[in-house]
Amino acid sequence: CLDEEGKVHEFDSSWRTEDCDDCSCSSSGIGCCTSYMRPVGYDEEKCESIFNKETCSYKVVEKGDHSKECPVHSWVG
């Protein structure tokens, strides 16, 4: 399989892209999906979500104080 970056992957192999997508190669081609969940159930007026590309995860914190995490009631992915 040849990915978007021009790299060749063997059949039945899997990898994670720089954009945090989990991909796999099979005889039918390449399939990719996001490896992370997005927060959707939180107070968007008081809080903001920040994506960490190194851990491929979101953190939801207060806009005025990033050291305080906010509760998240639902995630989608």
Which CATH number goes with the domain that contains 54?
A: 2.20.25.590
Q: What is the pLDDT of residue 4?
A: 87
- For residue 10, give its domain range: 1-35
Q: What is the pLDDT of residue 8?
A: 95
Q: How far is the CA of 49 from the CAs of 13, 41, 76, in angstroms?
A: 32, 11, 13
Say yes or no: 17 and 3 in one domain. yes
Band the pLDDT of 7: cuts 50, 70, 90.
very high
Q: What is the pLDDT of residue 77?
A: 83
Say yes or no: 27 and 42 in one domain. no
3-state secondary structure of 54: coil
Say yes or no: 13 and 30 in one domain. yes
- Predicted confidence (pLDDT) per residue in 14-71, tens digit: 999 999 999 999 999 999 999 999 999 999 999 999 999 999 999 999 999 999 999 9
